[in-house]
Homo-oligomer: A and B are copies of this chain.
Amino acid sequence: MRSPAEPKAADLDLVAVLHALGDPVRLGLVRLMAADGEVSCSPPHLNVPRSTLSNHWRILRESGITSTRAEGKARYMTLRRDDLEARFPGVLGTILTAAAPDAAVGQGQ
């Protein structure tokens, strides 16, 4: 199974990254990957319809925030921390720190 297309590190676009992060479900998924490393496409305890979730994962992937590993029919996503840090130093880290105290994955806010 082919892996979905991902932008090269040099092609990462700041506006696309910020747009991708500017949604409560997507920011929750990013926090989950930051905490757990690899995350399956349907993480438990996430009260979001599967089709909606697929769309969120697509936006994260196309913005260059995630890398996808295919294993059979399953997909596993990780954060492209090194690429993001190289291109936009400090941006993801400060956002994750700012998100930590008050955001919560899976509340569907």
Contact = CB atoms under 8 A, between A and B. Distances in A.
B14 A18 contact: no
Contact of A14 (B15, B20, B91, B99): B99
The number of times this chain is found in the oligomer is 2
A103 B27 contact: no
Contact of A15 (B27, B91, B93, B94): B27
Contact of A20 (B22, B24, B89): B22
A97 interface: yes
B88 A94 contact: yes
Q: Chain B CB within 10 Å — which of A22, A89, A93, A94 has the most?
A: A22
Interface of A: 14-24, 27, 87-91, 93-95, 97-99, 102-103
12 contacts: A14-B98, A14-B103, A15-B24, A16-B22, A18-B21, A18-B95, A19-B22, A87-B98, A90-B93, A90-B94, A90-B97, A90-B98
